[in-house]
Structure 1
Amino acid sequence: MRSNEGVGNPPDPPSSASPLNVTMAAVATAAGVSRATASRVFYGSTPVSPKTRDAVYAAAEQLGYVPNVMARSLAARGSDILGLLLRDPTNPAYGLLFSELQTHISQAGLQMVTVAPSRTEGAHFERQALNRLLGLRVGGMFVATGVIRAEMLGPFLDVVPVVVIGRPETHPGICSVSYDEENNATQLADAVAAHGHRAVAVVTPSAENSVPENRRGVTMARRLRSHGIRVHEIPAPTFGRSDEGVREIIALRRSGRITAAMFPSDWRLLAFLPHAQAAGVRVPEDLSLTGCDGIMQGIDLLGFTTLRIPVERAAGRAVTVMKSMLDNPGGTEVTHELLPGTLVPGRTLGHVSPR
């Protein structure tokens, strides 16, 4: 007798599998669980074990499953309601993006419904939120999160138009309007180099937790090295934490091994400041700091050296692209737009006197 929490290995999908003819029962069978358990995984009514959840998601992605009721209703008719999957609206960058999208969507005569997992919830929670959003029969979907992977969106691309906003995207079937994170990180690294710093710590989150922050960290480190600067990469592997790397950075400064630290977001820089103060590390006299985003209210008073990402422009372009996809189903060319930001000089980046 099969247990509701049993886990099997998904078989190879038949060549005829498509998002519209794969059933939840087939996914449950492939994963070795009951249909009720599979339903709990997709719609989040009650918890299931991580092992079971991962097996169901793996089977769904292998079979190309899309929640059946949603898929057929979307295939049958369009909708002027757009969906937005938004990461952490308490983050100023995402909060502003939400506001700007709402303005542009209203001006286009459309409506928007939003789902937003909390900042501590990872990819599987966003997958559940995505299923709920699509179950509302939206006519198009914006995805503004650096967590959910492109392959999770793949099964829905033939059913509903998708536009990714903010994070870098290269999937050949997904339109995106992204911040040019390599350009942005390069501007920041060049500013640090121009201020004479020769040894710098760079906080780099994992790509699984944040594609944009990972891209920023990796690019900053690479650019600094091209200037002949010694780089101490500080990994930040835990999802939802903004204070990772604090001890390592303070230890590096106390030992005289760095004169600057670069953070992939203003939130991370802000979280570091109380620890620096408690450790007696003065900014920028002892340690220069840079952030990224440039959206936080009062950032001019804080004096952060950061980079202002073009949120308003990204929102406007994303709605224009979505409107084109809705007006011309199947006829809009997939594009990946990259929008550079603007360096914001501040008091947290100081000069190092040549020795």
Structure 2
Amino acid sequence: MQTPRSAARAAKLPNPDDSTPSPDRTGSAMSALSVTMAAVAAAAGVSRATVSRVFHGTTPVAQSTRDAVYAAAEKLGYVPNVMARVLAARSSDILGLLLRGPTNPAYGLLFGELQENVSRLGMQMVAVAPSRAEGANFERQALNRLLGLRVGGMFVATGVIHAEMLEPFLDKVPVVIIGRPESHPRIYSVSYDEDSNATQLADAVAAHGHQGVAVVTSSGGNSATEHRRAITMAARLRAHGVRAHPVAAPTFGLIDEGAQEIIALHRAGHITAAMFPSDLRALAFMPYLRAASLRTPEDLSLTGCDGILPGIDLIGFATVRIPVEQAAQRAAEVMKTLLDGQTEIKHELLPGTFLPGRTLGPAPR
């Protein structure tokens, strides 16, 4: 039996399939947001349940019927009331994505590939992404915003939100971390094998005879991925007997940090190569190289990491190409199985491919 309080609470919940259009503030018959499924169904000559299936993807619908529904929706300006549906159901089949800086080509490609794979598997996704200058506080707020939308599952593709920040939510929604290495026993991850990527780069630099190398080292709090790459590169260089000179880059969003220190190390005769934890950082260093009248690789060899930067083949960076497409496909597949009840947690590692560009050459004699 429904109590007065529960009845009142239920009455306040929006009904996504309400067949009565509401007037907009100007008093017109219906605004874009008040057009209902019933109106679309009447215009398309189908049932309201069919309209729901078309927009929510619950069961297959004939293409001719889908076309009729979409045409009616476009004519009427229908917008599916996703939040009303979530509130009414107390849950959601929409996935959330917390994405680090989509202006970074690697994250931009990941977003596109993940969206394609999520759609292919019959799921939906909403993304929140900070600007390159926004740090951990913004990402925590974005995380809370996604959870406030009652997402049914969450992808985390950022090195700023650590596993400990996700622990309070693991009993509520399945989480898949994409891109960065992760070892938390309750979080599934599909990650680039950054130890392998960094090792490939360091081995190539050492093989070219460099004995002094600058390694740009980002803060772990700003980017777990870049920090992991830098630490591994430095350790591998030292294993080859090469002097690694860490160049600190602690400021969030400042991708040319450490450039002047690299130039100074070269002028002092300490280094013949510089290794950057991302192609964007290597690219940001190029104007400093030019301003110092230095050439690459004749005077100073350079390496990056990611291999996604548009025109990377024209620039000719020596880098590692991370398998973004494979990571996106696996992450979507994993989320699908988690939503279906699979509980086994794994940490998949996907190694990249070394690209021997023209910015890496033999150490000058």
Counterpart position of 1:98: 111
Amino acid paired to 2:309? M
What are the Cα deviations for residues 81-135 of structure 1, in whole angstroms up to 9, with x where unaligned? 1100001000000000000001001100111100001111111110001111111
- Which of 241, 256, 280 is the matching residue for 2:254? 241
Counterpart position of 1:121: 134
- Which of 310, 326, 331 is the matching residue for 1:297? 310
- Which of 186, 190, 193 is the matching residue for 2:199? 186
Deviation at 1:79, TM superposition (A): 2.3
The CA distance in 1 between the partners of 2:281 and 2:104, in whole Å, is 11
The CA distance in 2 between the partners of 1:77 and 1:349, in whole Å, is 56
Counterpart position of 2:74: none
- Which of 301, 308, 311 is the matching residue for 2:321? 308
Q: Does 1:340 align with 2:351?
A: yes
What are the Cα deviations for residues 119-153 of structure 1, in whole angstroms up to 9, with x where unaligned? 11111110001111111111100000011111111
- Which of 197, 210, 217 is the matching residue for 2:230? 217
The CA distance in 1 between the partners of 2:323 and 2:147, in whole Å, is 28
Amino acid paired to 1:276? L
Counterpart position of 2:240: 227
TM-score by length of 1: 0.77
* Aligned sequence identity (%): 73
The CA distance in 2 between the partners of 1:307 and 1:286, in whole Å, is 22
The CA distance in 2 between the partners of 1:146 and 1:317, in whole Å, is 19
What are the Cα deviations for residues 59-80 of structure 1, in whole angstroms up to 9, with x where unaligned? xxxxxxxxxxx9xx89x75422
The CA distance in 2 between the partners of 1:105 and 1:132, in whole Å, is 20
Q: How many aligned positions are there? A: 281
The CA distance in 2 between the partners of 1:130 and 1:93, in whole Å, is 21
Q: What is the aligned-residue RMSD (CA, Å)?
A: 1.6
The CA distance in 1 between the partners of 2:363 and 2:161, in whole Å, is 40
Deviation at 1:293, TM superposition (A): 0.2
Counterpart position of 2:100: 87
Gaps of 5+ in 1: 1-69
Counterpart position of 2:122: 109
The CA distance in 2 between the partners of 1:78 and 1:177, in whole Å, is 25
The CA distance in 2 between the partners of 1:135 and 1:78, in whole Å, is 11
* Bigger Rg, structure 1 or 2: 2
Gaps of 5+ in 2: 1-82
Return structure 1 stretches of 4+ with deviation > 6 angstroms. Answer: none
- Which of 256, 259, 265 is the matching residue for 1:252? 265
